[in-house]
A and B are shown apart, each in its own frame.
Chain A
Amino acid sequence: MKTLRVTVLLLAAVFFAAPLVASAAFGFSLPGQGFTFEPLQRATGNPAFWQQVGRSVLLAVLTAVIGSVLLMGTLLWLHLRARTLLPLAEGLSVLPFVVPPVALVMGVNLVFRAIYPGFLTSLLSLVPFYVVLTMPLVYRALDSGIRAIDLRTLVDAGTSLGAGRLRLFWEILLPNLRPALLAGGLICVAMVLGEFVLASLLLHNTYPVFLAQVGQDNPRAAAALAFLTLAGTWLLLAGFARTLRSERTRS
């Protein structure tokens, strides 16, 4: 029984790690030269690289902020004032999983090209799409964060001590919902850094689009960058988990 478990674990580890290791090995080496940063340097030397990284970071931040603000407001209102609507809201929140992004973008494309073409030419037109796409996961992150605290009692306690709405939110709810907001934000970052379909269809140059283009004439750089992006996201997640742990055990 134990050998079976170990075998499964090893197989899974190999299954997940092998592509990573392979892409790192491929990306950081050249035939006859061994380990090298050369292909990577060639890619990052391209001025378009930093520009497009910047664009993706901007998109990620805007998506995280706008999505969190909208969903946090809605969820707090639902939990405090309209609990009976929560199941309905939860059902609606998974709609983006049901509607394929391609269908979404094609529909919006048709409508906006006709009535307001300027909207889709702006890079920021991706933000609403990304907010919608990340909603199912951000919704769950925030909702579980709210459920983990005794929202009603904390609000009543703060109110009885004289706190108005703004104060309640900033001084009592926000500090306790910070882990959930961070988790939601991380989900947005991870998603936006990997979103290719919408950006490509709407002809916007973002980091994932750059990655795909680079892969065509400099596949080693693309592999190296993909590896670094993945490792970076993991480090972010690990750092986040660590912060949470140390917060829980603070004394």
Chain B
Amino acid sequence: MTTDARLALEQVTKAFDGRTVLEDISLQLEPGELLTLLGPSGCGKTTALRIIAGFERPDSGRVMLGGREITAVPAHRRSMGVVFQAYSLFPHMTALTNVAYGLKIRRQAKPARLGRAGELLELMGLSEHAHKYPHQLSGGQQQRVALARALAVAPEVLLLDEPLSALDAQVRVQLREEIRRIQRETGTTTIMVTHDQEEALTIADRVAVMRDGLIQQLGAPAELYRQPANAFVSRFLGTVNLVPVTGDGTRIALFGQAVETVGQHDPKVPLRAHIRPEDIELSIDEAGPGMVSTVLLRGATTSIGVIWDDLVTPVRVDLPTREAGGIESGQRVRLGVRVPHVLVEPDPAATGSQKTHA
């Protein structure tokens, strides 16, 4: 069932009432790939999805599918399945007729389309709810029906617009895994929009981080997490300590240790280093310059707050919980850097303060 739908946006721009929402967006998806568009609200990710679906027209640029330009093709003639945030099921139809609706439009005979819809509901584990109306289903069940409905027409591209954001945390994780499984089984090229970085990282083959209508970085989840292209990506994905430092152009002094920076920097400008809590080494040392202020057990990891020098905010260090035994607040410690390169950016505050971004 794998389609050879190679989907691409080429230099797409879009503005609403003079406000630029998308600025020269280009991206390309391989057949069968799952890409997430990740970013804070208002970054343009949903607009990008709506342009691909055909709900909006770009001001300039092209949408390509399988080598064909579809920019001007109206939404109802594109082969795209869309799952929305919530409340998208037709309230006057049962789960079964909802799923079969796209096939009805494609003039499939009633027994055939209801049969196919039944199969899809079974795939979603919803067989016994087939004859219920949307308002009789839970939020998670409704989203499963919506997914089945989108897949029923065997779309070339599946578009998911924050399909999990209205659900409880537990259902969210479960459905996320299910979406991934079914997407792999059907081999449907998929784009999912989300503002949840964990969701984006766990589900995707590749992630595009967006901000203010621009793609900040596009790459595999591990690449984005380990080698963020800029300070925004670094802060947006996971947790990061922002530590004021000074550098000489290629190296900085961090926790009393010389570390190379990613790329070059201006040595005359005050900098702040981005370092993830799990990339910091911690050793107990009576004469160490740091002092443990808090120890927070999170489960598999333990977060340790360390007061270092004259930094205002404690540095967060994450250790596997089994290595964190015996560490208590008040202890003197020494910190080190576990990674060969550290990302730096000009310090916007440049007052010696330091923050932790979650």
A interface with B by C-beta (< 8 Å): 149-150, 153-154, 156-164, 167, 172, 175-176, 250-251
Contact = CB atoms under 8 A, between A and B. Distances in A.
> Which 5 A-B residue pairs are closest in the complex by CB-CB distance?
A161-B102, A160-B82, A150-B87, A175-B92, A162-B105
Interface in B329-348: none
Given A156-B53, A250-B133, A251-B136, A161 B105 contact: yes
Contacts of B85: 153
A162 B106 contact: yes
Contacts of A164: 76
A162 B77 contact: yes
B264 interface: no
Interface string B90-118: 11100000000110011000000000000
A163 B101 CA distance: 9
B82 A162 contact: no
Contacts of A250: 133
Contact of B101 (A153, A156, A161): A161
Given A159-B76, A251-B136, 8 more contacts: A150-B88, A158-B101, A160-B159, A161-B76, A161-B105, A161-B149, A162-B77, A167-B105
Nearest to B17: A84
Given A160-B82, A161-B149, A162-B153, A153 B87 contact: yes
B80 A160 contact: yes
Contacts, number: 65
Nearest to A156: B55
B81 A160 contact: yes
Contacts of A167: 105
Dominant secondary structure at the A interface: helix
Contacts of A156: 53, 55, 75, 82, 84, 88
B150 interface: yes
A157 B75 contact: no
B136 A160 contact: no
A175 B91 CA distance: 9
Given A157-B82, A159-B76, A161-B101, A149 B91 contact: yes
Nearest to A247: B92
A163 B105 contact: yes
Given A250-B133, A251-B133, A251-B136, A162 B88 contact: no
Nearest to A167: B105
B55 A154 contact: no
B357 interface: no
Interface in B157-190: 159
Given A156-B82, A251-B132, A251-B133, A162 B76 contact: yes
A172 B104 CA distance: 13
B150 A160 contact: yes
25 contacts: A150-B88, A153-B85, A153-B88, A154-B90, A156-B53, A157-B82, A157-B146, A158-B101, A159-B55, A159-B75, A159-B76, A160-B53, A160-B55, A160-B75, A160-B78, A160-B80, A160-B150, A161-B76, A161-B102, A161-B149, A161-B150, A161-B153, A163-B76, A176-B91, A250-B133
Contact of A157 (B88, B92, B106): B88
Contacts of B81: 160
A11 to B, nearest CB: 40
A41 to B, nearest CB: 45
Contacts of A175: 92
Contacts of B92: 175-176
A167 to B, nearest CB: 7
B84 A157 contact: yes
Contacts of B136: 251
Given A157-B82, A157-B84, A251-B132, A162 B102 contact: yes
